[in-house]
C-alpha cells in the first residue's frame, strides 16, 4: 500500500472516523447530552458580579490579539492576573454551555491568580507563565479538589493522589489553572460521535466554534477552549493525530513534542509509546512559552523564534499525500507560497512504507493492545473491580444513557482485534512499528535533503507520533470544501485547516522556529465569532 493510502486510513481512524469494520451508530449532529457534573461558578459569583462591563470590554479588545508576552507586559503595567482570570471565567459562563470545552472548573482559580498578583507586587515573577490562565485536558491528573475523569462516568468522582509532573512544573512557573478540558473519552477509543471526536460521557460533545464542523479528535476541548478565548493556552495530549487534528480543525496552533520532552507521569495512558502531552495556543509564541513551562529541559524556545528561521532552509513537501485529499490543493498552494516568501527552498518528499507495514492492520491491532495493556491497567488501579475491557463494557452497558451516550462499540471492536496479543508481543509490536515509522521519516529526510517535512493537518500523524518525532500545526485559514471532513460527507466549507511541520528527533526548538517563521509570513489564523 502506498504511503498516501496508509496515512489517510490511519489518520481517519485515529483522529476522525474508524475503518468500515468499526463503524457505529451515532446520535444526530445537533444532539448533545447533559453534563454529568455541571460547571460550578459558585466560588466566583461575587467576583464576577463585581466586574464592570467597561473593564471587561477593554480586556476583551486587548486579549483578542495579545500573546503571552503582551499579557505579561500588561500585568507588569497594572493588569491584575485576577482580572484576567475573571475575564476568562466570564466567557466560560457565557459560552461553554454550547461549546462544551470544559469538564470542570478549578474552584481555586481566583486564589491562584491573587497569589500570582501578590508575588508580582512583591517583586517576584516566576517566569513568562506567571499569572497566565491555562487549562488541562482531563486525562492529566490533578490533585483535589478537581477530578480526573478521562471523560468516563466510571471515573466521575475520582481524584488523583497528586498532580501530574507537567502540572507541577506549570504551577512552579506561576500559571493559573482554570480547569479541565473536555476530550474524547479515554483518548478516543470509546466513540467518535456525530462530528468526529470530542465526545465523552462526563462532558458531552464539544462544538467547533467556527461552525457545524468536526472538532477533530481527543484533545477537542483543549483546542476549542483556546480558539474560543476561554483560556489563554491549553495542554492537550496526542497518541496519533489527537492533538494536531483538533488544533488544525479549530484554527489554532498545536504541538506534539518529541518523545520524552514532556513527562508522561500522571497522564492517563492509551499507548505509552505514542502518548505525548503538548501545548495548544493561538500563536506559535504562546505554544513555545507553554512548552517551556512544562518540558523536562531548560530550553528557552521563545528565544529561538526568528522571523528569518526558514531563510535558506530546505523543506520537504509531502504534496502527493496532501493533494490526494480533495479540497486541499488550493490551500497547499498557499502554503508553498508562504514558505517561499519566508525564504525556504522547497523540495518534493515522499513517505515510502516499510514493505511489511502493508496497511492499517498492524496499527489497529497495536491500538487494541494499548487498550488492553496500557489503558486498562490504569483503570484497574483506580477501580480494581474493573480490570478488563469486557468488564468495562459490561459496566457501561448497565446504564448506557449515562455511561456511553454516544455508543461504545468502538472500544469493544478495537479490543477484540487484539484479544490474542499478549503484553510481551504488544511491546515488541510497538518497538517494531516505532522503528518502521522512524525509518520511513528518516528516508524522506535523506532523499529530499530536507531539514523539516511539511504535511497537512493529521495526514501523516501515524508516522511522527509512532516514531516519537515532534510535529506542529499552524493555521492556514478556512477551507472552501473537502478535506477529511468532506470525505466523510460532513460540512467543511468555512472550516479551519492547518499546515503541519514534522521535525527531526531532538529538534523541537528548531521546529518551533520554522513554524514561527511560517506564521509570520502567512498570518492566516481566523478568529471565530461566538453566538
- Is the pLDDT reported for residue 122 higher than 90? yes
What integer is the mean pLDDT of 14-40? 57
Confidence of residue 487 (pLDDT cuts 50, 70, 90): confident
What integer is the mean pLDDT of 59-86? 98
Reported as a single tens digit per residue, the pLDDT across 300-349 is: 999 999 999 999 999 999 999 999 999 999 999 999 999 999 999 999 99
Reported as a single tens digit per residue, the pLDDT across 170-195 is: 999 999 999 999 999 999 999 988 88
Reported as a single tens digit per residue, the pLDDT across 352-403 is: 876 655 455 788 899 999 999 999 999 999 999 999 999 999 999 999 999 9
Which set of grid coordinates corresponds to residue 118?
Answer: 501578590
Alpha helix segments (H runs only) across 207-317? 220-227, 244-249, 284-294
User: Distance between CA atoms of 455 and 323, rounded to whole angstroms?
Assistant: 10
DSSP letters spanning 37-63: S----GGGHHHHHT--HHHHHHHHHHH
- Is the pLDDT reported for residue 10 higher than 70? no
pLDDT at 357: 58
User: What's the predicted TM-score (pTM) here?
Assistant: 0.94
Degrees (nearest 5) of the Cα angle 444, 472, 245? 100
pLDDT at 19: 30
Reported as a single tens digit per residue, the pLDDT across 396-438 is: 999 999 999 999 989 989 999 999 999 999 999 999 999 999 9
Confidence of residue 28 (pLDDT cuts 50, 70, 90): very low
Q: How large a percentage of the chain has pLDDT more than 90?
A: 88
pLDDT at 349: 98
CATH 3.90.1300.10 residue ranges of the chain are 3-298+310-353+439-522
Distances (CA, A) of 324 to 5, 282, 440, 473, 502: 9, 28, 19, 19, 19
- Is the pLDDT reported for residue 71 higher than 50? yes
DSSP letters spanning 293-340: HHSSS---TGGG--TTTTTT-EEEE-HHHHHTSTT-HHHHHHHHHHHH
Residues contacting residue 138 through CB under 8 Å, at least 6 positions apart: 103, 104, 147, 148, 149, 150, 151, 180, 181, 182, 183, 202, 203, 221
pLDDT at 298: 83
Reported as a single tens digit per residue, the pLDDT across 132-162 is: 999 999 999 999 999 999 999 999 999 999 9
| Residues carrying an active site annotation | 137, 218, 242
* Whether the Cβ atoms of residue 56 and residue 93 lie closer than 8 Å to each other: no
Reported as a single tens digit per residue, the pLDDT across 226-271 is: 999 999 999 999 999 999 999 999 999 999 999 999 999 999 999 9
pLDDT at 353: 76
- Tell whether domain 3-298+310-353+439-522 is in CATH 3.90.1300.10: yes
- Tell me the pLDDT of the chain averaged across its residues: 92
pLDDT at 360: 57
What integer is the mean pLDDT of 13-27? 33
pLDDT at 355: 62
User: Distance between CA atoms of 240 and 473, rounded to whole angstroms?
Assistant: 13
pLDDT at 273: 95
Pairing of β 314-317 and β 345-348? parallel
User: Distance between CA atoms of 440 and 350, rounded to whole angstroms?
Assistant: 9
Amino acid at each position: 500500500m502506498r504511503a498516501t493510502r496508509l496515512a489517510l486510513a490511519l489518520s481517519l481512524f485515529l483522529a476522525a472516523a474508524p475503518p468500515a469494520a468499526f463503524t457505529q451508530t451515532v446520535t444526530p449532529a445537533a444532539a448533545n447530552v447533559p453534563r454529568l457534573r455541571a460547571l460550578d461558578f459558585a466560588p466566583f459569583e461575587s467576583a464576577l458580579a463585581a466586574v464592570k462591563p467597561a473593564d471587561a470590554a477593554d480586556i476583551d479588545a486587548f486579549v483578542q490579539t495579545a500573546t503571552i508576552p503582551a499579557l505579561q507586559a500588561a500585568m507588569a503595567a497594572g493588569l491584575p492576573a485576577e482580572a484576567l482570570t475573571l475575564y476568562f471565567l466570564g466567557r466560560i459562563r457565557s459560552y461553554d454551555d454550547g461549546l462544551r470545552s470544559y469538564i470542570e472548573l478549578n474552584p481555586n482559580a481566583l486564589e491562584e491568580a491573587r497569589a500570582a498578583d501578590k508575588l508580582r507586587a512583591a517583586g517576584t515573577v516566576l517566569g513568562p507563565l506567571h499569572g497566565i490562565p491555562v487549562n488541562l485536558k482531563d486525562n492529566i491528573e490533578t490533585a483535589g479538589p478537581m477530578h480526573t475523569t478521562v471523560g468516563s462516568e466510571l471515573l466521575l468522582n475520582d481524584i488523583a493522589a497528586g498532580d501530574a509532573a507537567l502540572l507541577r512544573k506549570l504551577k512552579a512557573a506561576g500559571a493559573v489553572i482554570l480547569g479541565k478540558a473536555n476530550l474524547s473519552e479515554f483518548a478516543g477509543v470509546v466513540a467518535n460521535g456525530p462530528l468526529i471526536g470530542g465526545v465523552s460521557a462526563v462532558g458531552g460533545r464539544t462544538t467547533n466554534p467556527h461552525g457545524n464542523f468536526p472538532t477533530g479528535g481527543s484533545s477537542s476541548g483543549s483546542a476549542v477552549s483556546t480558539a474560543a478565548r476561554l483560556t489563554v493556552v491549553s495542554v492537550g495530549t496526542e497518541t496519533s493525530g489527537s492533538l494536531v487534528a483538533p488544533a488544525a480543525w479549530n484554527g489554532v496552533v498545536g504541538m506534539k513534542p518529541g518523545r520524552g520532552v514532556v513527562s508522561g507521569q500522571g497522564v492517563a495512558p492509551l499507548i505509552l509509546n505514542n502518548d505525548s502531552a503538548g501545548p495548544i495556543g493561538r500563536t506559535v509564541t504562546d505554544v513555545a512559552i507553554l512548552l517551556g513551562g512544562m518540558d523536562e529541559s531548560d530550553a528557552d524556545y521563545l528565544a529561538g523564534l526568528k522571523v528569518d528561521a526558514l531563510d535558506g532552509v530546505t523543506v520537504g513537501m509531502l504534496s502527493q499525500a496532501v493533494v490526494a485529499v480533495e479540497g486541499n490543493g488550493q490551500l497547499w498552494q498557499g502554503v508553498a507560497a508562504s514558505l517561499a516568501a519566508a525564504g525556504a527552498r522547497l523540495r518534493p518528499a515522499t513517505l515510502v512504507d516499510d514493505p511489511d507495514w502493508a496497511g492499517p492492520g498492524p496499527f489497529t491491532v497495536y491500538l487494541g493492545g494499548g487498550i488492553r495493556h496500557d489503558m486498562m491497567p490504569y483503570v484497574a488501579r483506580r477501580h480494581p473491580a474493573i480490570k478488563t475491557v469486557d468488564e468495562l463494557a459490561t459496566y457501561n452497558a448497565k446504564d448506557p444513557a449515562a455511561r456511553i451516550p454516544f455508543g461504545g462499540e468502538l472500544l469493544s471492536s478495537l479490543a477484540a482485534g487484539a484479544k490474542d496479543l499478549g503484553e510481551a508481543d504488544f511491546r515488541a509490536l510497538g518497538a517494531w512499528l516505532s522503528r518502521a515509522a522512524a525509518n520511513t521519516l528518516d528516508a524522506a529526510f535523506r532523499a529530499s535533503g530536507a531539514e523539516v517535512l511539511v504535511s497537512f493537518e493529521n495526514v501523516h500523524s501515524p508516522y511522527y507520533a509512532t516514531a516519537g518525532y515532534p510535529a506542529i500545526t499552524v493555521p492556514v485559514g478556512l477551507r472552501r470544501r473537502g478535506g477529511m471532513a468532506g470525505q466523510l460527507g460532513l460540512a467543511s466549507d468555512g472550516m479551519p485547516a492547518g499546515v503541519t511541520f514534522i521535525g527531526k528527533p531532538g529538534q523541537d526548538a528548531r521546529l518551533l522556529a520554522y513554524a514561527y517563521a511560517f506564521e509570520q509570513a502567512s498570518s492566516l489564523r481566523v478568529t471565530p465569532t461566538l453566538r
